Amino acid sequence: MERRVLRDIELGPARTLAPRDGRGAASFPSFRLSVFPSFRPPFRLASTPPRMPSFLSACLFSGLRRMRLHPFRALRPAPELAERVAAVPYDVVTRAEAAALAEGNPYSFLHVGRSDIDLPENVDPHDPRIYARAREALDRFQADGTLIREAAPSLYLYRQIMGGREQTGVVGCVHIDDYEHDVIRKHEKTRQDKEDDRTRHVLTLRANAEPVFLTYHGRPDLEELGRRVAATDALYDFTAPDGVRHTVWRIDEPEPFLAAFRAVPHAYVADGHHRSASAWRAGRELRQAPAQHRGDGEYNWFLAVLFPAEQLRILPYNRLARDLAGLEPPEVLARLARVGRVTVTDQPDPPRPGSFGVFLMSRWYRLDLDEQTIDRSDPIASLDVSLLQDRVLGPILGVGDPRTDERIDFVGGIRGTAELERRVRSGEMAIAFALYPTTVEQLMAVSDAGKIMPPKSTWFEPKLRSGLFVHTL
């Protein structure tokens, strides 16, 4: 029987896959994947973004694909309005906070990202009027010159400086198929209601209104390309009210960046799992629409900023519990002492992994776990958020699934341990835990293993400003 070679790929050591029904064989001789034309594998490739088993994902997709970056004709602020347009992301503020930030500023991009601020407070968060109002705001910004259209498809360099620390990323579009096929790797589950909301937002606007925050293992060639661009005149350069400085350059010659990213095997979603999942869903829906039969439109791409991992900073995501599960505070301390070493401290921030600050009875304690009891080879179980849940929150305080248990709450590290103290002293919460931050290396290890992190494991700072780039579909 003639065997036809469908495609040549580099996949590593020779390996053979034999189907259970014996109708053909998939093999990797000399790094070549050969498949009989009639062969039908006994597994079905997922049509939704959850990960395939890691071996199949690596064999079938990773060897075939590398990161693709796509220049786009951005909608971006007129230079004199950039500082007033730029806004915090939609999901880091409540409606009341967003309304206060946008008050007196008709140019704020919150009128697009959080358009509920322009409707009565009692309007349901998923009311159709909210999406229609967002579209009206985006159309108005284009009509009155608040947002201008880039003349040619471009990439951008985006630098943020916070507290003397700098991170610089490349702004462009990444492919929805690379998201589906795990070239862009994830580490969090998404909530259906939030995913539905942002998908509807994308489809109503026919635009990615906010970028996804991606990271990758840094490369010297990309670093050098970025230095050259940063030596030119910037499009925007301003300091936001929170003290973060934002600088943007247009990359006039994108091809060297496109070529360099083609050598990057994977990117990782750092922040924006709901935005990326929604962009993927919206893109597939538009691709399948009869009017889009060519399948090569901008809907195949979504907006992202890619930062080298070495520059990123993750803050802890701290925990609070509303009650002590019927225990008295001294009994809680006694049970904690069976888990690890408990001492009184005036330094609430943990100094190392496996160490936790505990605020109880108006005093800070430190809980130090025995390092020998932690399996550092397990990328999930060794996370501090997992250790706290598995050894303290669950067995001592009776907290169940942290995704759904209403007795637990989370505070991003940007608010500091003072916020933990305030909420416990107020009586709103009974006990607080300060955690050592998850590292970028841990995030990548979990993603590479095809695992899912516990909820609220990472808090990235600084946040990307919305409104500086819009990708229309």
What's the pLDDT score for residue 436? 97
Domain termination residue (choose one: 19, 36, 62): 62
Integer CA distances (angstroms), 329 to 20, 113, 323, 363, in order: 59, 43, 10, 11
Is there a domain that residue 441 lies in?
Answer: no
Is there a domain that residue 1 lies in?
Answer: no
Q: What's the mean pLDDT when you consider all of the chain?
A: 88
Which amino acid type is present at position 391?
R
Mean pLDDT value of segment 314-330: 97
Helix (H) and strand (E) counts in the chain: 14, 24
**Sequence-separated (6 or more) residues with CB below 8 Å from residue 14:** 27, 28, 29, 30, 31
Residues 116 and 228 in one domain: yes
Judged on CB neighbours under 10 Å (0-12, 13-18, 19+), 84 is: middle
CA distance 437 to 388: 13
Is there a domain that residue 453 lies in?
Answer: no
What's the pLDDT score for residue 65? 74
Quick check: helix, strand or coil at residue 163?
coil
Judged on CB neighbours under 10 Å (0-12, 13-18, 19+), 233 is: exposed
Provide the domain limits for residue 378.
317-436
Residues 261 and 409 in one domain: no
Domain termination residue (choose one: 62, 79, 94): 62
Q: How many CB atoms lie within 10 A of CB 143?
A: 9
CA distance 22 to 338: 56
> In the block, which residue shows the tokens 């159709």?
128
CA distance 114 to 198: 11
**Sequence-separated (6 or more) residues with CB below 8 Å from residue 53:** 450
CATH number for the domain including 414? Answer: 3.30.1760
Residues 321 and 310 in one domain: no
Is there a domain that residue 447 lies in?
Answer: no
Does position 473 have pLDDT exceeding 50, yes or no?
yes
Residues 135 and 176 in one domain: yes
Is there a domain that residue 221 lies in?
Answer: yes
pLDDT in tens, 13-54: 333 333 333 333 333 333 333 333 333 333 333 334 544 444
Residues 294 and 335 in one domain: no
Does position 76 have pLDDT exceeding 80, yes or no?
yes
pLDDT in tens, 404-462: 899 999 998 888 899 999 999 999 999 999 999 999 999 999 999 999 999 889 999 99
Is there a domain that residue 215 lies in?
Answer: yes
Residues 57 and 71 in one domain: no
- 149: nearest Cα among 81, 236, 78, 209: 78
What's the pLDDT score for residue 292? 56
CA distance 260 to 308: 13
pLDDT in tens, 186-234: 999 888 999 999 999 999 999 999 999 999 999 999 999 999 999 999 9
Dihedral sign, CA of 81, 82, 88, 90? positive
Is there a domain that residue 448 lies in?
Answer: no
What angle is formed at CA 305 by the lines to CA 303 and CA 306, rounded to 5 degrees?
Answer: 130
Residues 257 and 181 in one domain: yes
Residues 358 and 258 in one domain: no
- 383: nearest Cα among 430, 427, 335, 437: 437
Residues 186 and 259 in one domain: yes
What's the pLDDT score for residue 66? 85
The beta strands (E) that lie in 280-354 are given as: 301-308, 314-315, 317-321, 341-344
What's the pLDDT score for residue 403? 85
Residues 234 and 187 in one domain: yes
What's the pLDDT score for residue 74? 98
CA distance 187 to 445: 9
What's the pLDDT score for residue 413? 82
Which amino acid type is present at position 435?
L
Do residues 222 and 228 make contact, with C-beta atoms less than 8 angstroms apart?
no
Residues 227 and 279 in one domain: yes
- Among 22-36, 93-107, 264-278, 293-307, whose mean pLDDT is lowest? 22-36
> In the block, which residue shows the tokens 């637990």?
408
Domain count along the chain? 3
Residues 153 and 264 in one domain: yes
N residues, the chain: 473
CA distance 277 to 269: 10
Domain termination residue (choose one: 29, 44, 62): 62
CA distance 108 to 83: 9
Does position 58 have pLDDT exceeding 50, yes or no?
no
CA distance 444 to 127: 37
